[in-house]
Amino acid sequence: MPFGEPDGIADVAVQRPWRMRAVLSRTGEIAERFLTASSFDRGPWITVAFAAGIGAWFLLDNQWQWSAAIGAAMLLALAAIAVWRGRDDRAALRLAVTVISFAFAIGMAVVWSKSELVGAPAIERPAVVNLDARILEREEQPAEGRVRLTLAARDAEAGQPIKVRVNVPTEKDFALLEEGARVRMKARLMPPSAPILPGAYDFARAAWFKGLAATGSLIGEIEVVEKAGSRNSMIARAQRFLSAHVRSRLDGAPGTIAAAFASGDRGGISTADEDAMRDAGLTHLLSISGLHVSAVIAAAYFLAIKLLALWPWFALRVRLPLVAAGVGAGAGIAYTLLTGAEVPTVRSCIGAMLVLGALALGREPLSMRMVAVAAAAVLFAWPEALVGPSFQMSFSAVIAIIALHNCAPVRAFLAPREESRARWLARRTLMLFVTGLVIEIALTPVVLFHFHRAGLYGAFANVLAIPLVTFVSMPLIAIALLFDLLGAGAPFWRLVGLSLDLLLSLAHFTASQPGAVKLVPHMGLGIIALFVAGGLWLALWRGKTRLWGLVPAALGAMALALSPVPDMLVTRDGGNLGLVDERGHLFVLRGAPGSYARTNIVELAGSEIEPLRIQSYEGANCSADFCTIQLTGGSRDWVVLAALNKQRIDERQLAAACELSDIVVADRWLPRSCMPRWLKIDRRYLERNGGVALYLEEERVRSVASSQGEHGWWQPTKD
């Protein structure tokens, strides 16, 4: 036996590669049969892999992990080529694995390159500086009482070039503050803000990809050193002129909404109207995106093809769909430029151009491949858009619409048939409602992930609001502007006002209904990944195979329902905290209703009840300087010591109080002698970790820093 063991080991060593090859062969055969039976379309999945590479870059922590992920994807592609080389029966599988792996690697490389090229390190600390600057962008925000300027500036003291954003009060004389003008000013600047709490909006990341190193406000006056050239601000001037003209023709809230539709200027919309539109699920109507661009292009296409058809000589010699597509494309591009050419508008314009191209060529205008091409084009130019709500909501809605209308039952339901006009209208109305419902279902995970709240009646509101805006308000605005050239637009502006009053009434009525808004705690990345995976599977596969997408979606819904609510939330500066008791009631340390910190605490705690002050908490005992709070979490009680101000306390007394506490929270540096039993959250800790969420039953801390890695926009304080 001892002499036979080496031979047996050798036999196993020889057999092992053959077994591995057999396993790979069987796996490849199963995958090949699955891809063939499911009519696998590589086009959309290539874009999904490209987007996955971008998302992986944001998820992974540092350049070593990014490099390893790119290398692993490339090795997988090379392995597929090597293992299935010369196998005609594995050609589809080999091509799918190779192309998708390369797409993943390219996506990660694109966003990494974009970050290195455009990212600007934030200033180290808040400062008051003298700036010599060139105005790059000007955004009017009359509802906020300010004008927002984006500047290519130079610090007069340090001489360092820097891109900043400065708010200027509207009482200042800003007539000459146009794009291209050179100005001098004193401004109070601060670094772009990191998320105030885990799961909150990350302005620092958005500012990084915009190249902003600081934001701030004006101190004193602005000196215009050099006026703007006419070419530099021609489009911006046209946009502001159009917005001002619309508001001059239509007063009040309808005028601000009409200005947003006509020029993309949302600065005049009041906070109350913005909130009502958001809670009613109608916010998408305010930002110039697919609906508005599509309406403009569709109107131009329809008018062109109908008017040109009245000219027999031209209609017999030229393909009218091709000419109408050109007219629609010109109208879409002009509207995109006029409304500021923001990323959502450009994205919508790209998609619309692809639809027009398909119409001109006689191809199917709405297909997943068209959406995939549009998404790939946008992500290649703006890879950072992937992690923003605008991109996710726009493409989720479009994918849901196309997937729904390409289903065999829906095609059969909408197929032409002999019927009365009333039945035809009833079918279309029912389909409009079903489409709105499907869109709401598709958007709900995205909305909950980013905004922690969803309007439950959005599908019903959109059934009325989308046709109202598309077929009434926007055409009337266009007609009113056209007749204004003749001085006869007043009657049409009155009709515009009535339609927009109806839209706002619908929004306020929907938002005011009991249970109209549902708040949920922060949804983890794993949960949203399950929803995304399930939604893409349902949309992109064909036949019964697509039903497997319901599994991850159902798992995501279960995980969301079981997600724990954080027991304590501490903001990034330690200035506020929120506690959730056993009944789900929220208590906050400070902050007026509507303040930024308090609003984020309420949303991330998922509380739909007006929060109370911590002093009224049943287990709280507060003095002028500190509150001691008794909490129950898991199988034990917790003692929290929270500072109420920055007054100096005797160190021995503070050390004794810390020793009796499990958690200490303060918005200042605490001495090292303060040693609580579990966690000390002071200024030193928060500068290193950012805002935190505590889960006492699991004794788990989730911080802002835990999701940031070593990306350029995150700059924690080093010990």
pLDDT-based confidence at 48, cuts 50/70/90? very high
Q: Please, how many CA atoms are within 13 Å of residue 574, restricted to the half-sphere of its CB?
A: 24
pLDDT-based confidence at 667, cuts 50/70/90? confident
pLDDT tops 60 at residue 32: no
Alpha-helical (H) ranges within 382-420 are 389-405, 408-414
Quote the pLDDT of residue 25. Answer: 53
Measure the CA–CA gap between 432 and 663, rounded to whole angstroms.
Answer: 53
> Roughly what angle, to the nearest 10 degrees, separates helices 525-540 and 389-405?
30
Paired with 569 in beta bridges are 578, 693
pLDDT tops 70 at residue 83: yes
pTM of the shown model: 0.83
Taking only the tens place, the pLDDT of each residue in 212-262 is 999 999 998 888 888 876 655 677 777 778 888 888 888 888 888 888 888
Q: Is 41 exposed, middle or buried (0-12, 13-18, 19+ CB in 10 A)?
A: middle
Quote the pLDDT of residue 34. Answer: 55
Q: Please, how many CA atoms are within 13 Å of residue 513, restricted to the half-sphere of its CB?
A: 17
Compute φ and ψ for 359, nearest 5 degrees. -65, -40
Quote the pLDDT of residue 290. Answer: 61
pLDDT tops 60 at residue 673: yes
Contacts of range 16-23, beta carbons closer than 8 Å, 24 or more positions apart: none
Helix (H) or strand (E) segment spanning residue 286: none
Best CA proximity match to 531, nearest among 503, 558, 552:
552
Per the prediction, the chain carries an average pLDDT of 82
**C-alpha triplet 149, 152, 154: angle, nearest 5°:** 120
What percent of the chain stands above pLDDT 70? 87
Question: Both tokens of residue 168?
Answer: 């200027």
Q: Is 77 exposed, middle or buried (0-12, 13-18, 19+ CB in 10 A)?
A: buried
CB-based burial, 201-214: b 16+ in 10 Å, e otherwise: bbbbbebbbbbbbb
Provide mean pLDDT across the span 324-337: 80
pLDDT tops 50 at residue 389: yes
Taking only the tens place, the pLDDT of each residue in 536-594 is 998 888 777 788 889 999 999 998 888 888 889 999 888 888 888 877 788 888 777 77
Helix (H) or strand (E) segment spanning residue 659: helix 651-659
Question: Both tokens of residue 497?
Answer: 């006002």
pLDDT tops 90 at residue 72: yes
Question: Both tokens of residue 616?
Answer: 């009224």
Measure the CA–CA gap between 25 and 154, rounded to whole angstroms.
Answer: 63
Please name the amino acid found at residue 76.
L
pLDDT-based confidence at 626, cuts 50/70/90? confident
Quote the pLDDT of residue 86. Answer: 65
- CATH code of the domain occupying 127-231: 2.40.50.320
pLDDT tops 90 at residue 55: yes
Lowest mean pLDDT among 32-46, 61-75, 456-470: 32-46
Q: 410: Cβ–Cβ under 8 A, 6 or more apart, which residues?
A: 404, 431
Residue with structure tokens 């205008």? 365
Show me where the domains of the chain are located: 5-118, 127-231, 240-519, 525-562, 568-707
Q: 702: Cβ–Cβ under 8 A, 6 or more apart, which residues?
A: 198, 566, 692, 693, 694, 695
Kindly give the pairing relationship between strand 146-155 and strand 127-141. antiparallel
Taking only the tens place, the pLDDT of each residue in 410-450 is 888 888 888 788 888 888 888 878 887 888 888 888 888 88
Quote the pLDDT of residue 1. Answer: 42
Provide mean pLDDT across the span 639-662: 86
Q: Report the SS3 class of residue 223.
A: strand
Q: Rounded to a whole number, what is the largest CA-CA distance in the chain?
A: 107
Lowest mean pLDDT among 205-219, 464-478, 677-691: 464-478
Higher pLDDT, 334 or 148: 148
Quote the pLDDT of residue 91. Answer: 66
Taking only the tens place, the pLDDT of each residue in 278-306 is 888 787 777 666 666 777 877 888 888 88
Best CA proximity match to 390, nearest among 453, 447, 461:
447
Higher pLDDT, 103 or 82: 103
CA dihedral 137, 143, 144, 149 (to 10 degrees): 10
Q: Measuring CA to CA, how many Å separate 132 from each of 125, 160, 184?
A: 20, 10, 5
Number of other residues whose CB lies within 10 A of the CB of residue 128: 10
Lowest mean pLDDT among 77-91, 371-385, 396-410: 77-91
Compute φ and ψ for 601, nearest 5 degrees. -60, -45
Taking only the tens place, the pLDDT of each residue in 167-223 is 988 776 667 788 888 888 899 999 999 899 998 899 999 999 999 999 999 998 888
Q: Please, how many CA atoms are within 13 Å of residue 204, restricted to the half-sphere of its CB?
A: 22
Quote the pLDDT of residue 10. Answer: 46
pLDDT tops 70 at residue 395: yes
Measure the CA–CA gap between 349 and 343, rounded to whole angstroms.
Answer: 10
pLDDT tops 60 at residue 4: no
Quote the pLDDT of residue 3. Answer: 41
Q: 100: Cβ–Cβ under 8 A, 6 or more apart, which residues?
A: 42, 45, 46, 49
pLDDT tops 80 at residue 351: no
